[in-house]
Amino acid sequence: QVQLVQSGAQVKKPGASVKVSCKASGFTFGDYYIHWVRQTPGQGLEWMGWIDPDYGDTNYAPRFQGRVTLTRDTSMNTAYMGLSGLRSDDTAVYYCAKDLRQKGMYGMDVWGQGTTVSVS
């Protein structure tokens, strides 16, 4: 079935970088944008950016521009989210999600299980 499986929880020091993986299965990886969304403790959802796995094109939310890097490995059907310059307020659950339709931004219909990143 269609699913996204993310890497495990990480603990980082302030100023460090983190990289979270998201392995896709059950669909053609290159056909659908992969989005990254985070949720800080007790707060709402925050969109971080998307990557087109086919061409590697990316689009980032302005507040993360310069700190976030989205990449992919098409041979492994895996997307990655890197975040640098970590601060305590980056402590959050980070989700990857597949877009609903091919080659566009229509909504996120399949979500990973989430990866907790703690900065302390």
User: Among 18, 20, 108, 119, which residue interacts with another protein (rule: CB under 8 A)?
Assistant: 108
Residues 13/120, Cβ–Cβ less than 8 Å: yes
Cα radius of gyration (the chain): 13
55 near another protein (CB under 8 A): no
Q: How far is the CB of 15 from another protein (least distance, A)?
A: 27
Helix boundaries (H) for 14-60: none
Binding flag, residue 112, another protein (CB under 8 A): yes
Residue 99 Cβ vs another protein, minimum distance, rounded to whole Å: 10
> How many Cβ atoms from other residues are within 10 Å of residue 15's Cβ?
10
Distance between CA 85 and CA 16 in Å, rounded?
6
Residues that bind another protein (CB under 8 A): 35, 37, 44-47, 50, 59, 61-62, 95, 97, 100, 105-109, 111-114
